[in-house]
Chains A and B, each alone.
Chain A
Amino acid sequence: MQTDISRRQFFKKGALAAAALAVSNVPQVRASERETDLQLATLIDVSRCIGCEACVDACKQSNDAKFPRPVKPFPKMVPARVKVEDWSEKKDVRNRLTPYNWLFIQRAVVQTDDGEKEITLPRRCMHCVNPPCVKLCPWGAAIQQINGISRMDPDLCLGGAKCKNVCPWKIPQRQTGAGLYLDILPSLAGNGVMNKCDRCYDRIAEGKNPACIEACPEQVQTIGPRREILKQAHELASSMNGFIYGETENGGTNSIYVSPVPFETLNQAIDKGQGKPSLKKVKDEMSEANTLAAALVIAPFAGLASAIGRYYKTVKKHASGGPS
């Protein structure tokens, strides 16, 4: 009987400890030294952007071969609640993210000391240091390269859109009628492929800059090792008495924006919604789960301790002549 109470207490305490871990105020995890050395980041100087959309054109042109080529008619979706998402007839849309527009210019009209001013900034995937879209993809179709680029594998993606669901900025965009699902159970599972900026990983592999950076007439963006980019970002922010976005968001990203206007102000002024990401503060979405990983290390030892405790209690009980 004593043994049972002990076990009950153990499980109760174990569950409480695990729950406490889950709900505790976990400190924001920031990019480690190692990641800072290995990952490439971009610095986006918002004060330089004139909103000319040369980067948008360059992105579309450079990535045209990667855009989805859907097969029509689309398979009948079962159940009917699964909506077709077709952007193939709206490829020219450029005021939001779509499967055919991986970068757009976001505009905000704000009041400054010099009066009303339009601020423009290029928006695309933030390329998080620890990207939930990659880590939580149930199929391994999302990839993070060692240089920090996260991208979708169009040959493997089934278009379930979990990556979009877990992305704090809802960046990936789905196109129905393309991808692997057509060859498996097109009506019952999957719904196309997810698409987003891959930061021109193929160009970077060839030693070139991403198309948007190369095409920009104002040199808004700079690319380099994360540590250097962060140093530059802080120097730039100091020089303009400005603000930084992307350094700590979601535990750290590889897109560091520097603006003369606070990002809270910009976030209030921009048009947000489907395909139009916010500029809000974002907590590290993966940190709680990764803290829970510690519980997984402790758990086997807790089990062993419980068994050994029971064993010695039993030995003690029988040594003192208790019932068997």
Chain B
Amino acid sequence: MNPRTIVIHPGSRRKTIYLITLFVITLTGFAQMPIFKRYYIADIPGLGWLDEFYVTHYLHYLAAAVLLAVVFDGLAGYLLMFRKQYRIMISGRVRGVLLFCLALTGALMVVKNLSGYWLFSQQATIMMDILHIALTVFYLCAALWALVSGKKWIEKF
């Protein structure tokens, strides 16, 4: 039997992990700016860690690792098993491209943070910072648009 003809529904557990990770990575990403204490959010019981820059930095990296694993798992799973039954929708393509760009700018910033790397000029660093934040905002807008209009990542042929 050709495995590509098997009817399997893409897992919802992966989607749950993806959404939780997306929430954590967005929250810890915005926490890289000194805004949560200023605007009392870190004063909310249980959210004091949002003002701990090293903690949010580690969590951002951890969430990025989980997100990368989930995305690669989902993408490879789609190519191996669901390609013949599902097509990637425009909404999925837009979010996929934005995620790829976010991962790319994020990876460059991780390299920048390693000891002994002066690959990037100050201008390049600023561009990466702004681009990473802008891509996040675009991604959140695209996700909101998909949620409101019921657009999915993939749809059955």
21 contacts between A and B (CB under 8 A): A3-B11, A22-B62, A79-B40, A82-B38, A136-B53, A139-B126, A144-B118, A160-B33, A189-B35, A288-B54, A289-B54, A295-B62, A296-B64, A296-B107, A302-B72, A303-B71, A304-B72, A304-B73, A304-B76, A307-B74, A310-B77
Q: How far is the CB of A308 from chain B (nearest CB, A)?
A: 7
B114: chain A residues at CB < 8 Å are 130, 290, 293
A82: chain B residues at CB < 8 Å are 38
Main secondary structure of the interface of A (DSSP, over half): helix
Q: B58 on the interface (CB 8 Å rule)?
A: yes
Q: How far is the CB of A250 from chain B (nearest CB, A)?
A: 11
Q: List 9 A-B pairs, minimum CB-CB distance, nearest first.
A: A303-B72, A307-B76, A140-B126, A130-B115, A303-B73, A299-B68, A160-B34, A140-B125, A303-B69
B39: chain A residues at CB < 8 Å are 79
Given A79-B40, A307-B76: A165 and B65 interface contact (C-beta under 8 Å): no
Nearest residue in A to B59 (C-beta to C-beta)? A22
Measured between alpha carbons, how far is A8 from B73 in the docked complex, in Å? 12
Measured between alpha carbons, how far is A285 from B110 in the docked complex, in Å? 15
Given A4-B11, A138-B32: A296 and B68 interface contact (C-beta under 8 Å): yes
Task: Say yes or no: B65 contacts A314, CB within 8 Å.
Answer: no
User: Which of A26-34, A60-68, A107-115, A260-268 is the interface stretch?
Assistant: A26-34
Given A11-B17, A29-B115, A310-B77: A318 and B54 interface contact (C-beta under 8 Å): no
Task: Say yes or no: A298 contacts B81, CB within 8 Å.
Answer: no
Task: Say yes or no: B58 contacts A292, CB within 8 Å.
Answer: yes
Task: Say yes or no: B11 contacts A7, CB within 8 Å.
Answer: yes
Task: Say yes or no: B115 contacts A293, CB within 8 Å.
Answer: no
Given A8-B13, A31-B115, A35-B116: A303 and B76 interface contact (C-beta under 8 Å): yes
A296: chain B residues at CB < 8 Å are 61, 64-65, 68, 107, 110
Within B1-59, which residues are at the interface with A (CB < 8 Å)? 1, 3, 6-8, 11, 13-14, 17, 32-35, 38-40, 53-54, 57-58
Nearest residue in A to B73 (C-beta to C-beta)? A303
* Among B38, B73, B112, contact of A307 (Cβ-Cβ < 8 Å): B73
- The size class of the interface chain B forms with chain A is 35 or more
Q: A14 on the interface (CB 8 Å rule)?
A: yes
Within B117-136, which residues are at the interface with A (CB < 8 Å)? 118, 122, 125-126, 128-129
B8: chain A residues at CB < 8 Å are 314, 324
Q: How far is the CB of A22 from chain B (nearest CB, A)?
A: 6
Q: B88 on the interface (CB 8 Å rule)?
A: no
Task: Say yes or no: A153 contacts B112, CB within 8 Å.
Answer: no
B81: chain A residues at CB < 8 Å are 310-311, 314
Measured between alpha carbons, how far is A230 from B6 in the docked complex, in Å? 66
B54: chain A residues at CB < 8 Å are 166, 285, 288-289
Task: Say yes or no: B58 contacts A22, CB within 8 Å.
Answer: yes
Measured between alpha carbons, how far is A22 from B63 in the docked complex, in Å? 12
Q: B149 on the interface (CB 8 Å rule)?
A: no
Task: Say yes or no: B69 contacts A14, CB within 8 Å.
Answer: yes
Q: How far is the CB of B57 from chain A (nearest CB, A)?
A: 5
Q: Mark B91-118, 1 if CB is under 8 A from A, else 0.
A: 0000000000000000100101111101
A72: chain B residues at CB < 8 Å are none
Measured between alpha carbons, how far is A82 from B61 in the docked complex, in Å? 29
